[in-house]
Amino acid sequence: METPNRQSAIGVRQSVALPDAHISAVAVEKSYRKGDHKIPVLRGVDLAVRQGEFISIVGQSGSGKSTLLHLIGLLDGPDVGEIRLESDRIDDLPARSRDELRNRVFGFIFQFYHLLPELSVLENVLTPLMIRYSMFDFWKRRRQLRESARELLDKVGLGHRLTHKPSELSGGEMQRAAIARALIAKPEILLADEPTGNLDSGTGGEIMDLLRTLNQQDGLTIIMVTHDELIAQQAHRSVRLAEGRMAARGEAA
């Protein structure tokens, strides 16, 4: 006899086979060790996201939604299961290739912005490119790269704050800078971990508008984690995680 959970898992696995799945998690399980205890966080989660889709993952804190995002973004490896980019498994790649994928395919936005405090806004935005290119290549292209960073900061409305340090910015501005940093590497998939969690509703709305614009105009695939139902509804689709398992959830409006 099969449990409903497993049936749903098989169902999702079938959807993974769809040719338009951009990124997918297949039956991933993850547990953390706390002393001698093994605390399961994800207990077999399947998720498939199509190209250009904007989905949100909701759930209470401790439901494993951030962990799922980290697994998808290759910041961590699943104990069981696979992460697939299009149809290729990517979680078992060597460290060097995973670093490269993080740099080129994924863009990260965090709740606490996570800008580097020693660098100016412009330098923070350029960091992914500095990581990508060798010193010599970066030096050769520095004008062009700096110009594109400036354009991007204009686009997110920070064109007047290029040389400021993160500590001199407001929360909304810091999040815009973080978005610009995530976008500079021209990623295919944007992973946002509670992007509005630390902002008031007005600023949060602006950030959401920005994300929607990026999704619509640039066709960026966005996976957003949030605990806020209202924010979650702004995505095309919303999935719910509870106790490490996917709960049924319909299409958002």
153 vs 174: CA distance, rounded Å:
11
The torsion region of residue 184 among left (phi > 0), alpha (psi -120 to 50) and beta comes to alpha
Residue with tokens 């989660």: 45
Span near another protein by CB under 8 A; candidates 54-62, 127-135, 196-204, 244-252: 127-135
Span near another protein by CB under 8 A; candidates 8-16, 106-114, 155-163, 235-243: 106-114
Does position 176 bind another protein by CB under 8 A? no
Exactly one of 22, 43, 104, 245 binds another protein (CB under 8 A); that residue is 104
Q: Taking the chain, what is the end-to-end CA distance rounded to the nearest angstrom? A: 36
Q: How far is the CB of 148 from another protein (least distance, A)?
A: 16
Q: Extract the tokens encoding 42.
A: 């994800």
Span near another protein by CB under 8 A; candidates 52-60, 91-99, 149-157, 208-216: 91-99
Q: Are strands 88-89 and 21-34 parallel, antiparallel or unpaired?
A: unpaired
- DSSP-derived letter for residue 244 is T
141 versus 212: smaller Cβ distance to another protein: 141
Asked whether the beta carbons of 182 and 109 are under 8 A apart, the reply is yes
| Contact pattern from residue 193 through residue 232 relative to another protein, giving x for each residue in contact according to CB under 8 A and a dash for the rest | ----------------------------------------
Exactly one of 90, 119, 162, 252 binds another protein (CB under 8 A); that residue is 119
Residue with tokens 């069981």: 80
14 versus 32: smaller Cβ distance to another protein: 32
# residues contacting another protein (CB under 8 A): 34
92 versus 137: smaller Cβ distance to another protein: 137
Helices 201-218 and 171-184 cross at an angle (nearest 10°) of 20
Backbone angles phi, psi at 249, to 5 degrees: -155, 135
124 vs 116: CA distance, rounded Å:
6
Binding site for another protein (CB under 8 A): 67, 70, 73, 75-76, 95-96, 99-104, 108, 110, 114-119, 123, 127-128, 130-135, 138-139, 181, 185
